[in-house]
Amino acid sequence: MKTITRLLLWIIIFFFGSTIAAVVVYKWMPVYITPLMITRSIENDDEMQHKWVPIEEISENMALAVVSSEDNLFMSHSGFDFDQIQKAIEEAEKTGRQRGASTISQQTAKNVFLWNGRSWVRKGLEAYFTVLIELIWGKERIMEVYLNSIEMGPGIYGAEAVAQAHFDKSASKLTRREAALIAATLPNPLKYSSKNPSKYMRKRQRQITRLMGLVENPHIGC
């Protein structure tokens, strides 16, 4: 019994020690590859397009667009938008359809440290890593990692890669309308394209562009 207890204790110590160490390392080190990138490459055999750039080399329009479309309370919440979570639960109960209520912080935690899936174990780990990155990284670093790691098209990850592939320019040169169009793809970047946008995408682009003018605190350190 003592041996089992000691083993469990070491497992717990190893888990917390290794995960906290990983978060601390990534506070400073660029995230060059994520579990999703590896999974997609194996599943689809796509050529991966990804180039890490500092947040100073990504247009402020890009951060503003994703905050406006994905998480307008990003600068004020502590990693979770409990109002949106509650609304998503109520909507699922009424309609039977599930919709995402993840914040940018949660999406970043999932992209960098975890696998895709809907299990309670993965959601629990996502919450754990979200708390860690909020405490250790802060908002500017979370946004920097998010904009460099988020899937933005088949085999395309990050603002620099999508800017080069779809607009033939660097991420630092993205306009408000281009950033809004990219942000419009994020719910499903494998279905929607910022290179060949549909009428629906153009409509979402206009909506996000309008929302970008309503965000009270657009400057996120970029």
Which domains are delineated in the chain?
A: 32-212 (1.10.3810.10)
| Amino acid in the structure at residue 147 | L
Quote the pLDDT of residue 162: 97
Contacts of 112 (CB under 8 A, 6+ apart): 26, 31, 34, 129, 145, 149
What phi and psi values does residue 199 have, to the nearest 5 degrees? -60, -40
Low-confidence ranges of the chain (pLDDT < 50): 99, 217-218, 221-222
Mean pLDDT, rounded, of the chain = 88
Quote the pLDDT of residue 213: 83
Q: What is the pTM of this model?
A: 0.88
Q: The tokens of 68 are what?
A: 């406006």
Quote the pLDDT of residue 222: 43
Work out the end-to-end distance of the chain between its first and last CA atoms, rounded to an integer number of angstroms: 54
